[in-house]
Amino acid sequence: MNFDALRQQVKHQTDEKLLHLISSLPDHAPRLKQAMQHALLVGGKRMRPLLAHLIGNSLDIPQQDQLTISMAIECIHAYSLVHDDLPAMDDDDLRRGQPTCHIQFDEATAILAGDALQTLAFSILADQPMSDYADGQRARLVSILAKAAGYMGMCGGQAIDLAATGKSIDIEELTRLHRLKTGALLGACAQMVTQVAPSISDQDQQSLINYARIIGLAFQVQDDILDIEGDAQVLGKPQGSDEQQGKNTFPGLLGMTQAKQELAALHDEALNTLASLPYNTDYLAAFTDLMVQRNH
């Protein structure tokens, strides 16, 4: 199977399983249920599930383990987008070319949808089928995801981002912000999948985690570049929104030429990290190219 076909297969499997999960919830709060489905399944590239599956395939992790981890991570990611889009945060009307959750429904429902998706992620890790070995790792998986999503990761990075909006920060602080806000959850993809690999060495596990964190930073640099140079219709959100909101960005701090040089350096660093591993990482190399060359 070629990379594009595998990418579509992962997206289809993840979406199908998540739709089944949401659909099977009781109907006592139908509007909330609809908002959760909107946030989770209207658009989205499923980059984090794809990364989890690519690492899992390289390590011969059972598909059910990969899928459970992917679903949990995607719920956390979707919840974070719902809350990021709220008027009190980034105040965005469009996400993935569709109305954001608080626009499609209302602000209170959007807050609850984010809350419910976050807790659903941990229910998935606790309850969804996994292999015998992975079953014994559930508490560790919950711990990894909680740290990556909370104060020590994504939420901490978002707090730094909010505090820095309209102010000038240096490149070191911007890098730290995005290593937490974006990189932590991608790093968790690698950490969780390698956690259920019984025979991986500590060194190889750390290399895969480092790779995912490098890719997370590269993803953000490209995101900042696309905010300036991208096509709004392709992006699914207004062009130049970061600048209008007073956000610190890599092109803003470094200039566009140097930002692109930084992206190229991160691309090389990620590929070099993969080259040090004793696994078939061809698909992960293709994923690296996709993350830094994407147009949306």
| pLDDT above 70 for 156 | yes
pLDDT of residue 238: 55
Q: Could you state, in order of their start, the residue ranges of all structural domains in the chain?
A: 3-293
Confidence of residue 241 (pLDDT cuts 50, 70, 90): low
pLDDT in tens, 104-124: 999 999 999 999 999 999 999
pTM for this one? 0.93
Q: pLDDT-based confidence at 1, cuts 50/70/90?
A: confident
32-68 pLDDT, tens per residue? Answer: 999 999 999 988 889 999 999 999 999 999 999 999 9
Length of the chain: 296
145 contacts: CB under 8 Å, gap ≥ 6: 72, 73, 76, 121, 122, 125, 188, 192
Q: Name which of 21, 208, 4 is nearest 125 in CA terms.
A: 21
Q: Return the CATH superfamily for domain 3-293.
A: Farnesyl Diphosphate Synthase (1.10.600.10)
Residue 235 pLDDT more than 60? Answer: no
Closest C-alpha to 290, from 257, 260, 267: 267
Q: What is the Cα–Cα distance from 123 to 90, expressed in whole angstroms?
A: 28
Residue 295, judged by CB atoms within 10 A of its CB (0-12, 13-18, 19+), counts as exposed
**pLDDT of 240 strictly over 80:** no
